[in-house]
Amino acid sequence: MNPLLNEDEQAARAAARTMAAEAFSVGAATPEAIGAAAASVTAADGVQSNLHMTLAVEEIARVAPAAGAAVGSVAAAALVLREAGQEPNGLAVCVGGGSVSADESGVAGTSEPVPAAQYADRFIVIGDDAVWMAAGAATSADLDGLAGSGLARVEVSSGEQIGGADLAQLGRAVLRLQQSAVAVGISAAAQDAALTAIADAKESGGAPDRSQAVQWALADIATEAEAARVATWHSACADTTDQGSAMALVLATDAAAKAVRLAAKIGGVESAAAGGRMAELQRDAKLVELLGGGAAAQLGTIADALLPDVPRA
């Protein structure tokens, strides 16, 4: 067993960190930057694709959660297309949920909000047992959070089936994994923001790092982020079942919501400054927690796997 990143994986993570800082540290992400980043995060020598995606998306989300969500969304679609043997032309995203139905007979309906959908020209519809490439029209979701991620609902209509139940399961798993990676990135960003707040306070003569309230908050942020990170990595490498990826997502979104709350406490009232980093992270964490059906959907998925013979009431 070697549940530690090997050299290639560490190099891929470091490269993603550099790329994230260069491409996304200033201003909103452009569709071009998102497309380029997504193309680079789906392939690296010696690194398993799912793992590479989660490593890179975490690093991007740590700098800019909205960009991480957009790149993750496009990268997840690219992985599904590759698995289906399709050319990764243009900019595709996976959609599902909402009122979308996708089965052997066809696709129709309006999806849940999906990052990067506004910029996409192709839509992969993930149903329970089938995957379709569909035409669609995106409508801005107008939600508070992940500003600049191109979040939109998509109305899908006609299309062509490109895979069955196995591809659908893989699609759901990579979607959850990229969302988990965004959430882990937000936890890391919250830790960074807390450390910045501590450094600023020290410059003004304070010593918040000697306060146990601050120390414990930092420890809890680090602990839960690490738990979510290992669950995400494990699911990316070893367990792309619905259950494994759902567990990673529950842990990661819970951790992110808690991390931003604790980091904001460390920063004090300045954390609520309009347009400030902490306030933005709180909105982003909340939205990432809610996308894809939220924890309730994931917990339902896990429970269904654990209790196959006991149908839900």
Partner 1 sequence: MDWKLTADQSMIREMVREFADAEIAPHAAEWDRRKEFPSATFEQLGELGLFGMVVPEEWGGAGLDGTAYCLALEELGRVDASTCVAISVTNSVYCAPVNKFGTDAQKDRWLRPCASGQWLGAFCLSEPDAGSDAAGLTTRAERRGDDYVLNGSKAWITSGEVCGAMLVFAVSGEVAGKPEFSAFIVPREHDGVAIIHREEKMGLRSSCTNQVGFEDCVLSSDHLLGNEGDGLKIALDSLDGGRAGIAAQSVGIAQGAFDVAHSYLQERDAFGGPIGRFEGLRHELGRMAAEIRAGRLLYLRAATLRDRGLRNTRQAAIAKLHASEASNRIAYQAVQMHGGYGYVTDYDVERFYRDARVTTIYEGTSEIQRLVIARAVLQSATGA
> For binding to partner 1 (CB under 8 A), which residues are involved?
1-6, 9, 48, 51, 191, 195, 198-199, 209, 212, 214-216, 218-224, 226-228, 230-231, 233-234, 237-238, 243-244, 246-247, 250-251, 296, 298-304, 306-307, 309-313
Closest distance of CB 308 from partner 1, Å: 10
CA 124 and chain centroid, separation = 17
Backbone angles phi, psi at 3, to 5 degrees: -80, 35
Q: Which is nearer to partner 1, 237 or 279 (CB)?
A: 237
Q: Which is nearer to partner 1, 26 or 313 (CB)?
A: 313
Q: Which is nearer to partner 1, 13 or 153 (CB)?
A: 13
Is the CB of residue 209 less than 8 Å from the CB of residue 85?
A: no
Is the CB of residue 258 less than 8 Å from the CB of residue 265?
A: no
The two beta strands, 131-140 and 106-110, are unpaired
Closest distance of CB 118 from partner 1, Å: 32
Exposure string (b/e) for 107-130, b if CB count within 10 Å is 16 or more? bbbbbbbbbbbbbbebbbbbbeeb
Closest distance of CB 291 from partner 1, Å: 18
Q: Which is nearer to partner 1, 129 or 304 (CB)?
A: 304
| Cβ burial, residue 310 (10 Å; 0-12/13-18/19+) | exposed
- Residue 100 CA to residue 190 CA, distance in Å, equals 34
Amino acid symbol at 271: S
Closest distance of CB 119 from partner 1, Å: 31
Q: Which is nearer to partner 1, 149 or 179 (CB)?
A: 179
* Residue 150 in tokens: 């191109």
Backbone angles phi, psi at 55, to 5 degrees: -60, -45
- Residue 199 CA to residue 267 CA, distance in Å, equals 10
Backbone angles phi, psi at 5, to 5 degrees: -65, 135
Which helix (DSSP H) or strand (DSSP E) does residue 101 occupy? Answer: strand 101-103
Q: Which is nearer to partner 1, 117 or 218 (CB)?
A: 218
Closest distance of CB 183 from partner 1, Å: 13
Q: Which is nearer to partner 1, 6 or 99 (CB)?
A: 6
Closest distance of CB 66 from partner 1, Å: 25
Closest distance of CB 181 from partner 1, Å: 14
Is the CB of residue 136 less than 8 Å from the CB of residue 114?
A: no
